Every structure is written in structure tokens, then in C-alpha cells.
Structure 1
Amino acid sequence: MDVVIPAPGQLKVLSHHQYDPKESISPSTVSPNPFEQFRTWMTEVREQVLEPEAMSLSTANKAGVPSSRFVLFKQLDSRGFVFYTNYTSRKSRELLENPYAALAFYWKEVHRQVRVVGRVEKLTHEESEEYYQSRPLGSRLGAWTSPQSSVVEEGELSRRLDEVKTKFAIDESAKEAEVPLPDFWGGWRVVPDEIEFWMGKPSRLHDRVRYLRVEGSSDNSPQWKIERLAP
């Protein structure tokens, strides 16, 4: 990559790595089911990509002002893509105001992207509980400690963590302990209406295959229209 500073306060990127994968994708070669196609790609890249579960999550408030951040994808079930967070965080507040989201996975090492757009729904308490109790002790304590997206004072998180440990009678040397699921923490599911698979190609003539949910088809057993997009 060539970076040029043509004048004070300016920055230009003049070149970029050229993609040259051996594979190709088209509407005739992908799975009829985008969830199966995603599982195939995730299985293929997990040994080659550092943290392939990292995904960009974009939300918007009721005024339509967007915001994006990276979160960790945790599950693909029969309805959609699942992640977990604090329900008082900015992302959750925006999802409550405007129940739509966009996801993007970028697997640089293998020149692939996946893009998802859809409606959101909260997981049930039982679903969130099952995942929460599978987390390491430190992560469960962290969920209680952090008032996510709120302004905090220097040192406040350390003090709050000490208070949480006292609340649940957890010794400093404890490797495991009972920590209940907070009522302000849990999962969101993105139920997709659109999923796109992208594969980098030379001269920016990338492969793009998009699945669009057929209008009126069930969330639990959707039907899909598959088409190629111009790069």
C-alpha cells in the first residue's frame, strides 16, 4: 500500500493489494441456503483467520443516525445470527429504538466478506442464561461490573469489580463461582432479509452473490432468491 501526504492535513492511499484467489463463487455454485453457505465459509476460514468471529455491527437510532462497532458473533441458529451484550449499551438502546441491524465479516487473509441485513429480536432469558453460564468467571463478573457505554471515572471499574466480588462472596483465588445472569445483559438475534457473500478478484472485478428473503416466507424456514451483483 502506497500512502502519500500531498499537503498538510491530507492523506491519500494510491494502491492496494491485488486479490488472486483460486476459487470463485456464483449463484449456481453456492448453497441454496445462505446459512449453510455461511457455515461452510466459517469452517473453511477458522484455521486461517485470526478471530474470524469478529464482526462489524451497525445500528441506527430513531433519527436514522448510524453507529458501528465490532462485536463477537456467537451462534447461527435456524433464525439468524446471535451476539450478546449489555441491554443498556448504546447498541442495545438503538436496537430498541430502531429494530434493524447490519453485520459485516471481513476475512482479510482469504479475501472474503459476508454482509447481513435484517431485523433484530431479543433472545429468551433461557437462551441468554445458557450462554452466560458457559462464560469464564471473569467475563461473568465483567458483565456485572461494566455500565457499558456510560462515562466512568478513572479507577471506577476496579472499584466496581471489587464490589461485585463482595456481593457474590468471591475470593480472589477463586477459579469458579456462582454468578447469576444480570437482568440487563443478554443476546440479540439478527434475522436476515439479505445476506451477501463477497470474494476478492483481480482488477476489482470481485464475485458478489446475494441472497434475498422471499417476501412472506417464514422466519424459521425462509425461502431465498439468489443473484449475482456487479462489483
Structure 2
Amino acid sequence: MEEIEEGIFFKDIGVSFYRIFMGFFISTLFALPIGIMMGTSRAWQSIWEPVVGLVRYMPAVAFIPLSILWFGTTDTQKFFILFLGVFFQEVIMVADNCKTVNRSLVEVGMTIGLKKFEIIKDIVFRAAFPGIMDTFRTTWGWAWTYLVVAELVAASEGLGFRIMQAQRYLATDRIILGILVIGLLGLITDMLFKLLYHRLFPWKESAKVKE
């Protein structure tokens, strides 16, 4: 293919990966602390749950016209769509991870005189971290979907843009190649998340084997 020979295709891969990484990073940067607080504080949950519950049911794709008006076709627009698609779901999942922490562990922390922040940091977060890593793995996959949708509509480069461009010229081979590359990148990153999980939490695998 001409795009591969000229290096354009690999450039598109780099552009798309950069966008998804930055969008996912920004979403996680806000979702992690808010989710932890929602899972450990009833007051915090009462404030955020109605907002999160409302917005997370709004399709991120519907915000694409507004995002173009606000940010044009810049990378910021892609980050915004990724944020809407990932952040609210991630907050709920992180909060649920924290809520599953054994209550007796928290009570032990309170008994030995740990402060609220210390209990959250040293007990709740550490106990919930394996589940939170699984949440990151899941939401990373969702992020790819929202990124490609954003690139299909408002982009001048990237894998989504190339797929749309190929559709206009009825270039089926380029469309299939783009889809396969996205699937392959998703599979590779998913395997990296899985490897990281095994390295960070080897006892989890040991427990599964015993069961």
C-alpha cells in the first residue's frame, strides 16, 4: 500500500496512540481520586453520584458536534470525547472496587488509630488496587472505540480518518487493514495490562490456581 510505503500509515498509528494515551491519562487522573472518594465517603458519593449517573448515560458521540464547535478538529477535541466516554464509567467502577474492600480491614485500621486519609491510602486503595487495574484494562478498550469514532468525524490524520477516507474511495482493503491494526493494537495493549497485573499481584494468580 502507498500509505505504508510512504510511512503515512505508521504515522497515523502514532497519532492515534498518542491521542488515546493522553485522553485515557487525563480521564484516569480525575476518575481515580473521585472514584476512591465516592467509594469511601457517603457525603462525597451523595454529591457526585447524581452528576455521574446523569452524564454517563449520555452518548459521548452526541457531543461530537459541540466538541468541534468548542475545540475545532484539534487533539483537544479528541481528548474531550475520550474524557466523556471513559471518565464517568471509570469513576463508577473505581468506586465499586473500593466498596468491595473487606470492612474488617478498615476496622483494624481504625482500631490502631489510623486517620481517615491513612486508611484510604494504606488500606482501601491497596486492597482495591487489583480491581482498579482490571478497571483500567477495561476502560482502555472503551477508549479505543471513542477515539476511532472521533477520528471518523473530525480529523485529518489517524487510523479512524484513514478508514473514513478509504470508505469514500471504496478501498475495502484499506478499511480492513485499518480495522485489523486497531484490533491488533488493542490486543497488544490488553496483553501488556495482563502482564503488568501478573507482575504486580502474583498472589492473585496463586489463589486462582489453588481454587
> TM-score when scaled to structure 2?
0.29
Per residue, is there more strand in 1 or in 2?
1
> TM-score when scaled to structure 1?
0.27
